[in-house]
A and B are shown apart, each in its own frame.
Chain A
């Protein structure tokens, strides 16, 4: 079955600085890949997804992610972080033959003023 590793449990960045959250996946074929954000007490909101085609994917709130097959990675980036971006971020991988989506353990983002 597919799996996801998010190596960073907690990241702190200054407001206005750039951000990169790491995600590595394990799957035998080209997977579906997702990034979700979860604010305290809220459900999961989809930031972006990769199914096929262009490996650089644009999402909401100024986020982007790049699928790198050779590295089995799908890292999330944002050029300038805002205080409102502080939240928990989850990478997820889905199989292409069913709706079985597996989540990573998450990365908690703290934004310093």
Chain B
């Protein structure tokens, strides 16, 4: 089966600019997650979707971050405006939803804010 696809792989932007990341989960996976991984740290959950509804966005900085999952398939994570501290790898993961934590991670998007 195809894995979790993410694009772009790398992105460099200036602070105060906006950026968007795209994730295509494994076909049929109901649950989708966005994680932020700052250099030297473990991944931190930003938002969890179940189909096209938000399950948990308690750690999403909503003043600048937004995410959507239209039609319960692809998802987009946006940052507007970006800050220097947003430099990180943004990982998308998906799971079938019928087994606890059956995550599959994508390769991530590395964002550098200068």
Contact residues in B for A49 (Cβ distance below 8 Å): 101
Which of the listed residues A42, A43, A51 has the most CB atoms from chain B within 10 Å of its own CB? A43
Which of the listed residues B40, B48, B56, B101 has the most CB atoms from chain A within 10 Å of its own CB? B101
Q: CB-defined interface of A49-85 with B at 8 Å, one 1/0 digit per residue?
A: 1010000000000000000000000000000000000
Least CB distance from B78 to A in Å reads 21
Contact residues in A for B45 (Cβ distance below 8 Å): 100-102
B41 near A106 with CB under 8 A, answer yes
A99 with B31, Cβ < 8 A, contacts A43-B106, A43-B107 known: yes
Listed by A's residue number, 20 A-B pairs whose Cβ atoms lie within 8 Å are: A4-B42, A32-B100, A34-B101, A42-B107, A43-B91, A43-B105, A43-B107, A43-B108, A44-B91, A44-B105, A46-B103, A90-B42, A92-B42, A94-B101, A99-B33, A99-B95, A101-B45, A103-B44, A105-B42, A106-B41
Q: Which residue of B lies closest to A108 (CB)?
A: B40
Contact residues in A for B110 (Cβ distance below 8 Å): 41
Cβ of B4 under 8 Å from chain A? yes
In the bound assembly, the distance between CA atoms of A94 and B110 in angstroms comes to: 25
Contact residues in A for B72 (Cβ distance below 8 Å): none
Least CB distance from A78 to B in Å reads 20
A interface, how many residues as a size bin? 20 to 34
A99 near B101 with CB under 8 A, answer yes
Contact residues in A for B43 (Cβ distance below 8 Å): 44, 90, 103
In the bound assembly, the distance between CA atoms of A49 and B95 in angstroms comes to: 15
Residue in B44, B93, B100, B108 whose CB lies within 8 Å of A51: B100
Least CB distance from B44 to A in Å reads 7
Interface positions of B from 26 to 79, Cβ below 8 Å from A: 31, 33, 40-45, 48, 55-56
In the bound assembly, the distance between CA atoms of A31 and B93 in angstroms comes to: 20
Contact residues in B for A92 (Cβ distance below 8 Å): 42
